[in-house]
Amino acid sequence: MKKTICPVLSLFMVFVLGSIGLCGPLNSPIKTLSLEQIRKSAQAESGEMVQFLSRTIQYPSVENSGEGVTPETAALLSFVLTYAQNMGFNVRKAANGMAGVLEYGEGKESVGVLVHLDVVPVSDHERPQWTHPPFSGRITDREVWGRGAQDNKGALASGKTDQFYGLSGPLEMDIGLQDYNSFVAENTLEGISKGDLVLFSKGISAHGSTPWTGKNAVVAVALVGSRMSQLSENAYKRAFKFVTAKIGMSTDGSGLGIPFTLSSQLPPVLPGMTPIQYLGTSANLGLVTEEGDQLVLSMNFRTGFVNTNEQLLEASRMSAAVFGGTAEYVKGDGSHYEPFYYTKDQPLLNLVINAYKQVYPAYPEYTPYVFLTPGSTYLKLVSNFVNLGPVDLFPDPSANYFHAKNEHTTIKGQVGNMILYAHTLQKMVQMETAPVR
């Protein structure tokens, strides 16, 4: 059966397909390449791939919540679509310009690829700490540097205390106190409450799925604020106490009362991770805003294997009520979806894992699961989707620079991704029957 290849915001996947021969003129038959041919083609095209990745990083496509996209992201999307069109793809914008679709071929079934173009911001105080400017796309002998090099443009191109919840030892926090006017001028801030002094903290950014690898600046300020005896009895004081008692230094939601119980029915834990990190829920306090006379704390939960969304919501409601607050899902489409679990016998997951093993036959058995996330996925409204990439961290788990200072990716790793993605897509396109979940 003929299939349509339909990448969404994914020139890396498109670029791979075009460069290694899986695609040609729109009416030409799909070629079958051996894995060795794919390896040779990927190596030959690595220079152009690196240049493309560098160019995309130079677009500071930082997005804020809200309708539409920033001019920088819109410009990057146009660049990607034009590049793909020149390669022979049908291109179009969708969702009022918030997404781009690249299509090749035609048929009753389609093979889709999803990649996002937006990146997390780089703070003013963090910029001088980068080895190379975060939006330079600097290319060295072995690496490409910049925000998005791993997440997700790499895939597009290939005070001390021991009294806080979740803390078992001394805690070092980067806390400061500064005159209000000088702080606002120095940090070019607008729309914040006026005062005399500013208590601030500098955190360490981390990906929302691995909050334990960072330091939460919001939590740090709350922990100090909860010990300020002269504060008025208001929403801020209650919020400080709530964060101290119910969140603290924990990133698993246990302070809120979210349960975690191991069982033999759960998949094995990956080396280098604790059971609660891999199988449990992650909880990250990410945003504090004033809405009228209310103070709103927004948390990001990644529902674990052993939990449900209702458990998370009920635990949050009970914890907030103790401090005179409430808890609800964020309003709007896309605020929450039910988690789902891919078992090992799921056809699409098996196809991707087998493709991985063929490309990397010497890798340990657990490795294919590192970024296939069999328990969940970003795209919960699509019934047949698994994550693959954007980087393979074996054998060096320290190579994860998602949302972190000095984000960069290795050229060797990018070439490996070109090979893996192309081989996997070829297997998907040539299947007689779609591996539907």
Can you state the percent helix, strand and coil of the chain, rounding each to 5?
35, 15, 50
- Using the 3D structure, point to which of 321, 354, 374 is the last residue of a domain: 321
Average pLDDT of span 46-69: 86
pLDDT band at 271 (very low <50, low <70, confident <90, very high): confident
| Residue 317 lies inside a defined structural domain of this protein | yes
Helix (H, G, I), strand (E, B) or coil at 5: strand
d(C-alpha 360, C-alpha 15), whole Å:
22
397 compared with 120, residue with greater pLDDT? 120
Whether the per-residue pLDDT at 248 is higher than 80: the answer is yes
Window from 18-27, 275-284, 335-344 with minimum mean pLDDT: 18-27
Q: Tell me the residue range of the domain where 227 lies.
A: 175-321
Whether the per-residue pLDDT at 419 is higher than 60: the answer is yes
Whether 286 and 349 map to the same domain: the answer is no
Which pLDDT belongs to residue 344? 67
| Residue 165 lies inside a defined structural domain of this protein | no
Which pLDDT belongs to residue 129? 92
pLDDT band at 429 (very low <50, low <70, confident <90, very high): confident
Whether 12 and 95 map to the same domain: the answer is yes
Whether 121 and 23 map to the same domain: the answer is yes
State how far the alpha carbon of 231 is from the alpha carbons of 88, 224, 238, 243, 311, in Å: 64, 12, 10, 16, 33
Whether 75 and 131 map to the same domain: the answer is yes
Whether 151 and 202 map to the same domain: the answer is no
Whether the per-residue pLDDT at 425 is higher than 90: the answer is no
Whether the per-residue pLDDT at 56 is higher than 90: the answer is yes
pTM of the complete model: 0.70
Its sign, for the CA torsion 12, 271, 299, 147, is negative
pLDDT, one tens digit per residue, over 150-190 is 888 888 776 333 345 555 455 566 788 888 888 888 877 77
Q: Quick one: DSSP state of residue 215?
A: B
d(C-alpha 276, C-alpha 298), whole Å:
22
Whether the per-residue pLDDT at 26 is higher than 50: the answer is no
pLDDT band at 393 (very low <50, low <70, confident <90, very high): low
Which pLDDT belongs to residue 18? 29
Whether 198 and 304 map to the same domain: the answer is yes
Whether 182 and 246 map to the same domain: the answer is yes
**In the predicted model, what is the mean pLDDT of the chain?**
78
Whether 280 and 392 map to the same domain: the answer is no
Whether the per-residue pLDDT at 375 is higher than 50: the answer is no
Six token digits for residue 63: 């997005």
pLDDT, one tens digit per residue, over 200-235 is 888 888 887 788 888 899 999 998 888 887 788 888
| Residue 339 lies inside a defined structural domain of this protein | no
For the CA atoms of 196, 199, 200, 201, the dihedral, rounded to the nearest 10 degrees, stands at: 170
pLDDT band at 147 (very low <50, low <70, confident <90, very high): very high
Whether 11 and 148 map to the same domain: the answer is yes
Which pLDDT belongs to residue 314? 95
Nearest residue to 327 (alpha-carbon basis) of 301, 360, 293, 354: 301
